[in-house]
Amino acid sequence: MNPINLHQIAVEAMRSRGLLPAFAPQALQEAEDARQARPERNNAILDLRHLTWFSIDNDDTRDLDQLSVAEALPDGATRLLVAVADVDTLVRPGGAVDGHAAVNTTAVYTAAGVFPMLPEALSTDLTSLHEGLERLTVVVEMQVETDGTVSASSVYRATVLNRAKLTYDGVSAWLDGEAPPPPQIASVDGLEDQLRLHDALAGQLRQWRQTRGALNVNTVSARPVFEDGQLVDLRPDNKNRAKDLIADLMIAANGATARFLVDKGFPSLRRLLQAPRRWDRIVALAASHGVQLPATPDSPALDRFLSARRLADPAGFADLSLAVVKLLGSGEYAAAPAAATTGLGHFGLAVNDYAHSTAPNRRFPDLVTQRLLKAAIAGEAPPYSAGQLTEIAQHCTLQEDNASKVERQVLKAAGAWLLHGRIGEVFDALVTGAAAKGTFVRISRPMLEGRVVRGFEGLDVGDTARVRLLAVDAEKSFIDFERV
């Protein structure tokens, strides 16, 4: 299979699930017309271009959504600023670009390539926080105490300038003492101090969440590897120190934005993860390791178990993490009325106030939240009613699920191609799904999932098994195993 065929599989998969694989001509023209827009300037927009802003993302990322900068305060606390690209300025509500984004609600990341939520003239150019370019942003400012609590926060608009585009792998290897510093450290004054302060700050934020029961998991996803345009492998895309650093900062910023909207009396979109429905299976997994968990969902107890297993069995922790994540289930979006302050929590992150807001180039809920934030800052009425937010939340949850299914389908098509000459081989596998629709396992080389069509009786999520490859079909995106 060549990349063109894989791309076509992705296109057809998107269409079959109500996702738009291509932009309408009007949307593309609207995005190009945005090049003529003049940068907004008024007294309410602060000029923060002098600060040492930087980004950390994947090596090949071009749609940069956020920057950050921090300052150590005399009392030991830290002032943290997270600047999020002001996408709303160039994406008019009700326009063609907004219409496309409202349908898909997310960028779709497949083994055949990325299907962006916004035209690339915007997402990888005009609304991307590229190194060396002045950009409008919405800034979330937080004061973080030494114990990781966010004691104060505010949200405002500002002009910023990215001083250094850094990569996860480069920063992580340097922080771990395994590689020389990123080259920008030599050319950007204060950047090394910023990175070390950020690293310490992320640890404080993480520790505070973990004392409340935030789950310390280590999941691994598959990354397609191409050589000369040809798919050659699906390899693990591991977490690292820099990815955790950015995740910790974004979780804090997303919590601050949710609280800001509550304080302003605004409705909002929240990101939720309910207590797991299959807690009984999580209890059984813990029992297999000699640990007794409470009979009812308890995130602090679960995190203590996971932390102990990370120390006891580092090599097997990724598989245990995957099993727990599968049993936790998927997150969802929900509308919170203006008066809501509690009851909309995220079990995995151990936070009650959480609104996606830091990736408006890639997720529609973040763009909606940005419009709410800007209206609140300006003292205007909310641009969405509670009823509209409820409809948006339901649609975003549905389309996120559809996007995930497309991503899995294309990944399985790619995996089927890679395995087409290996029928009859036996693999070590981890059970990742067990329901009426079928029992699914993941193998590690190449990293992919398939269905167990024979001998699946008695298997449950988290079990390990030996499976034999029976059949593959790249066009239909199936990989079938039997239990050995």
Our CA angle for 307, 310, 311, nearest 5°, is 95
The reply to whether 11 falls in a domain is yes
The reply to whether 347 falls in a domain is no
Q: What is the pLDDT of residue 310?
A: 85
The reply to whether 290 falls in a domain is yes
The reply to whether 392 falls in a domain is no
When divided into structural domains, the chain yields a total of 3
Residue 230 vs residue 402, higher pLDDT? 402
Query: Could you give the CA distance from residue 242 to residue 175 in angstroms, rounded to a whole number?
Result: 8
The reply to whether 157 falls in a domain is yes
Say whether both 260 and 307 belong to one domain: no
> Mean pLDDT over residues 290-318, rounded?
88
Domain range for 301 is 279-328
Residue 167's Cβ-side half-sphere holds a number of Cα atoms within 13 Å equal to 12
Query: Could you give the CA distance from residue 338 to residue 448 in angstroms, rounded to a whole number?
Result: 43
- Mean pLDDT estimate for the chain: 91
Query: Could you give the CA distance from residue 351 to residue 354 in angstroms, rounded to a whole number?
Result: 7
Say whether both 244 and 362 belong to one domain: yes
Of 170, 142, 205, 185, the C-alpha closest to 56 is: 170
Say whether both 295 and 197 belong to one domain: no
Q: Flag whether pLDDT at 56 surpasses 90.
A: yes
Give the model's confidence band at 201: pLDDT under 50 very low, under 70 low, under 90 confident, else very high: very high
Say whether both 260 and 299 belong to one domain: no
CATH code of 462's domain: 2.40.50.140
Q: What is the pLDDT of residue 3?
A: 44
Say whether both 258 and 307 belong to one domain: no
The reply to whether 45 falls in a domain is yes
Q: Flag whether pLDDT at 32 surpasses 60.
A: yes
Say whether both 234 and 290 belong to one domain: no
Say whether both 373 and 430 belong to one domain: no
In this predicted model, what pLDDT tens digit does every residue of 327-386 receive, in sequence order?
888 889 999 887 655 555 677 666 677 899 999 999 999 999 999 999 999 999 999 999
Determine what percent of the chain is predicted with pLDDT higher than 70: 95
Say whether both 308 and 260 belong to one domain: no
Residue 196 vs residue 37, higher pLDDT? 196
Query: Could you give the CA distance from residue 363 to residue 347 in angstroms, rounded to a whole number?
Result: 21
Say whether both 129 and 188 belong to one domain: yes
Q: What is the pLDDT of residue 340?
A: 57
The reply to whether 70 falls in a domain is yes
Q: What is the pLDDT of residue 306?
A: 87
> Mean pLDDT over residues 224-247, rounded?
81
Check: CB of residue 364 under 8 Å from CB of residue 106.
yes
> Mean pLDDT over residues 143-156, rounded?
96
Q: What is the pTM of this model?
A: 0.90
The reply to whether 367 falls in a domain is yes
